Structure 1
Amino acid sequence: MTETPDASAFAHVKNWVFDLDNTLYPHETDLFSQIDVRMTRYVQDLLQLPRDEARRVQKQFYLDYGTTLKGLMECHNIDPDDFLQKVHDIDYSWLKPNPALGEAIKALPGRRFIFTNGDRGHAERAAARLGILDNFDDIFDIVAAGLTPKPQRTTYDLFLEKFSIVASEAAMFEDLARNLVVPKKLGMKTILVVPGNFEPTFSEIWESDPEFTDQVDYVTDDLTHFLKQLTAA
């Protein structure tokens, strides 16, 4: 499924921006499912709901506010630090080191960033487990974004300002097309990272983004191969 990128179309890119979950590690690793379960449990305990109803509420928060956290903050005034600590208390042994990806990222010319709706601790632990953490210049997390998640425009503006990035000199890799709408408008190259063979499981159907695919310049189900093609010359 991986498209062969035209390396010359990326010759101007000086800043490489990567989402974390289901982007830097394969969707089939299913690490995010642990976080998802903990978010449902958090809603269940907070609102004293049956699990199925708590999950419905959680997903509605996600759709309405961009993240479950933002919805809980807006509607129930929760402590964001408590939420982030509890939902990211997961088993990272599910992740396998990926030295090939690390080398492909390291070979990219310019600066490299992780831009995530999770928190820095989660990003650091996941990237360290993958063996790629040292290949990034910095991490921009939900706390740095003032707890306002992608795809809100203000969050991208904060990211670009913090690192003095010219959007037209950047490329962004994401697993959700909706999070590429603003980058595309700003002039970034946009790359959608999809599951292997693009076969989403039932649990992901609710978050599919068919209406946003026009915001995508390239699609790949093999990030490592895609990056290697950019630097092969």
Structure 2
Amino acid sequence: MNPPRAFTHVDTWVFDLDNTLYPHHVNLWQQVDARIGEFVCNWLNVSPEEARHIQKDYYRRFGTTMRGMMTLHGVRADDYLAYVHKIDHSPLEPNPALGAAIAKLPGRKLILTNGSVDHVGAVLARLGLATHFDGVFDIIAAEFEPKPAPQTYRKFLGDHAVDPARAAMFEDLARNLTVPHELGMTTVLVVPDGTKEVVREDWELEGRDAAHVDHVTDDLAGFLAGLSPH
């Protein structure tokens, strides 16, 4: 078995947003999740219970519920994104330790998310990280094809001129690290720290022992701070 990839060669640092740059237990995504359920319920005129089933089924099959709703029901992405991201961001608190750790990383810092750029902006503003990133690749830039679709990663690499062999990817879903690892990126899975309850599907918390996961951390700021600069 190959040893986990290191960071000494990395000059591009790629971060997922939700449940990666802020702790799982904030459960901000729970608000989005509830809004998605409402959208599905209203659009398809089904019960909340049936909407929940459809929502999770599409999430697993298409990568996002939105992709399933667009593909099967003709939903417009703009309408969907505006609705589901209308949430209360106040549970997020500034994280100066994470900001300092990101600032010290050598090279570019980018965000690759299945959310919208508006959602990214709101989250980073609350975290105090708005000035720490050099670019955002959101679901619109991905032409609404979410991670873990291989073409989404390839489009991201092309749009931002990223050499995957010199990049690291930080994610909270192990399945979203499969393609980055295949492409040559160093991969890091960010997991809950275990101190507070998190609202996740069982499968979302799997994969920390997978071969495509080089590193696992429950403290992103501490992990980044521990990476010695070259």
Are positions 1:227 and 2:219 aligned together?
A: no
**Which residue number in structure 2 is paired with residue 33 of structure 1?**
30
1:160-191 CA-to-partner distances (Å, cap 9, x unmatched) read: 00111110000000000000000000000000
1:3-52 CA-to-partner distances (Å, cap 9, x unmatched) read: xxx9x921100100000000000001110000000000000001111111
**Which residue number in structure 2 is paired with residue 50 of structure 1?**
47
CA RMSD of aligned residues (A): 1.9
Contact 1:177 1:212 survives alignment (8 Å):
no
**Which residue number in structure 1 is paired with residue 59 of structure 2?**
62
Cα distance, 1:199–1:215 mapped onto 2, change above 3 Å? farther
- TM-score (norm. length: structure 2): 0.94
Cα distance, 1:154–1:232 mapped onto 2, change above 3 Å? closer
Read off the aligned partner of 1:77 and give its amino acid letter: G
**Which residue number in structure 2 is paired with residue 94 of structure 1?**
91
Are positions 1:216 and 2:213 aligned together?
A: yes
Cα distance, 1:171–1:205 mapped onto 2, change above 3 Å? same
Read off the aligned partner of 1:127 and give its amino acid letter: L
1:86-109 CA-to-partner distances (Å, cap 9, x unmatched) read: 000011101000011001001000
State the alpha-carbon separation in 1 of the partners of residues 112 and 195 from structure 2. Answer: 23
Q: Higher helix share goes to which structure?
A: 1
**Which residue number in structure 1 is paired with residue 116 of structure 2?**
119
Contact 2:148 2:175 survives alignment (8 Å):
yes
Q: When the two structures are aligned, how many residues end up with a matched partner?
A: 227
Instruction: Report the Cα offset of residue 192 of structure 1.
Output: 0.1
Read off the aligned partner of 2:192 and give its amino acid letter: P
Contact 1:198 1:221 survives alignment (8 Å):
no
Give the counterpart of 2:70 among 70, 73, 96. Answer: 73
| Gap runs ≥5 in structure 1 | 1-5
**Which residue number in structure 2 is paired with residue 3 of structure 1?**
none
- TM-score (norm. length: structure 1): 0.93
State the alpha-carbon separation in 1 of the partners of residues 69 and 133 from structure 2. Answer: 31
| Gap runs ≥5 in structure 2 | none
Read off the aligned partner of 1:161 and give its amino acid letter: G
- The percentage of aligned residue pairs carrying the same residue is 49
**Which residue number in structure 1 is paired with residue 139 of structure 2?**
142
